[in-house]
Amino acid sequence: MRSDKNFQRRRRITAIDVAKAAGTSQSAVSRAFTANSSLSKDLRERIITAARELGYRPNAIARSLTTRRSRIIAVVMSYLNNQFYPDVLEKLLDRFQKADYQILLFTSERSGLSDPLFEQIMRYQVDAAVLASTALSSRLAGECRAAGVPVVTLNRTIDDPDISSVTGDNQRGGYEIGRFLSAAGHKNLGFIAGIKQSSTNRDRELGFRQALREAGMPNPQYALGNYSFDETVKAARHMLSQHIRPDGIFCANDHMAIACMDVARYEFGLNIPKDLSIIGFDDVGAARWKAYDLTSYSQPIEMMVDNTFETVMALIEQPEQPARHLVVPGKLVVRSSARLPLS
């Protein structure tokens, strides 16, 4: 069967080998490695011993062919240079590994071509997909679902209400940030947006604008950072060069807020927060770094991941159940990058 001679791994040890060694049948071996299947204590022990001696390990690939469950979850993620995502990934990994699921990781190229991605996800018969890439077209989610693969989007929602999602409270976060800035007596606010079509950006911006409106403030100045460090540098330069320079900027995430702070301080010589307040979103690790000490709205990763996990499991058990849309509350973490409300 093998044609390329280069390929020859030592013969695999299979359940049949173990069965022979333990003087029993292959089915019994299978049962010994399957939770709550009926097998006498005695036989089970004999099998386990033989297996250990032979270095036998059940072949998960073969198993999933018959069970039709791979115990593999596809995770699609990009923007790994934004610390928020690796942190999410690490927690996801922990959570799913603990439940004996493995994670097959995909990045969507920023080009957004999700088709080949979808192909691969389907071919590997994943039990579910977690989509945590803001860059992603919502098409991927729809395709997965149409193909019967449970999907949950993490840190984003998409148009289709039938697709479950877990997000932070983006709108409320934007709103609180707007209130905080206006209460501190800022006169000219700015907003540096992430990717325009992303739900995170949309909701954060929505909340922010609403707060300004309620406070009787004009619309904020606007620039596009696209969740990219370099683009944000340009956006900040542009915004800070305006005739009327903002005295407070809300950046749609911490990653951009850091870029913005660097520009303000080192290119414009501004003192933060005296000359300019900056607030981010996510409360990533670097927000705590003293050189930034960034005021931010938190997204509690642990809770988001737990909710994602629960939702995925529920969907695997009952694919037809109604979609869930979980919103995990965060809170404004006040540090020193923005002036405090006048008391």
What is the contact surface with DNA in residues (CB under 7 A)?
1-3, 12, 14-16, 24-28, 30-31, 33-34, 37-40, 42-44, 56-59, 62-63, 65-68
Q: Tokens 């022979």 label which residue?
A: 20
Q: Which residues contact 26 (CB under 8 A, 6 or more apart)?
A: 15, 16, 19
Among positive and negative, which fits the CA dihedral 142, 144, 145, 151? Answer: negative
Instruction: Specify whether the CB–CB gap between 236 and 252 falls below 8 A.
Output: no
Instruction: Specify whether the CB–CB gap between 328 and 169 falls below 8 A.
Output: yes
Q: Tokens 């950072």 label which residue?
A: 225
Smallest gap from residue 55 Cβ to DNA (A): 11
Angle separating helix axes 41-54 and 15-22, nearest 10 degrees: 120
Smallest gap from residue 196 Cβ to DNA (A): 39
Spatial CA neighbour of 253 closest among 187, 173, 153, 331: 173
Smallest gap from residue 41 Cβ to DNA (A): 8
Residue from the set 18, 21, 32, 89 that interacts with its own copies by CB under 8 A: 89
Instruction: Specify whether the CB–CB gap between 259 and 229 falls below 8 A.
Output: yes
Closer residue to DNA in complex, CB, 58/86: 58
Q: Tokens 């695997």 label which residue?
A: 316
Closer residue to DNA in complex, CB, 18/129: 18
Closer residue to DNA in complex, CB, 219/318: 318
Smallest gap from residue 51 Cβ to DNA (A): 10
| Rounded Cα gap, residues 298 and 328, in angstroms | 10
Closer residue to DNA in complex, CB, 34/97: 34
Residue 137 interacts with, from DNA, its own copies, none (CB under 5-8 Å by kind): none
Residue from the set 97, 197, 219, 241 that interacts with its own copies by CB under 8 A: 97
Helix (H, G, I), strand (E, B) or coil at 34: coil
113 touches its own copies by CB under 8 A: no
Residues 183-242 touching its own copies, rule: CB under 8 A, are 229
Residue 274 interacts with, from its own copies, DNA, none (CB under 5-8 Å by kind): none
Cα–Cα distances in angstroms (integers) from residue 157 to residues 24, 101, 164, 192, in the given order: 53, 24, 8, 21
Largest CA distance in the chain: 87
Residue 10 interacts with, from DNA, its own copies, none (CB under 5-8 Å by kind): its own copies
Closer residue to its own copies in complex, CB, 171/298: 298
Rounded to the nearest 5 degrees, what angle is found at the Cα of 266, between the Cα atoms of 250 and 342? 40
Residue from the set 24, 30, 83, 228 that interacts with its own copies by CB under 8 A: 83
For the record, the structure tokens of 15 come out as 């359940």
299 touches its own copies by CB under 8 A: no
Q: Which residues contact 313 (CB under 8 A, 6 or more apart)?
A: 99
Instruction: Specify whether the CB–CB gap between 298 and 333 falls below 8 A.
Output: yes
Residue 97 interacts with, from DNA, its own copies, none (CB under 5-8 Å by kind): its own copies
Closer residue to DNA in complex, CB, 36/343: 36
Contacts with its own copies by CB under 8 A lie at: 1-2, 6-10, 12, 55, 57-62, 64-66, 68-70, 72, 75, 78, 80-81, 83, 85-87, 89-90, 93-94, 97, 102-107, 109, 119-120, 122-125, 147-148, 229, 258, 261-262, 265-266, 285-286, 289-292, 317-319
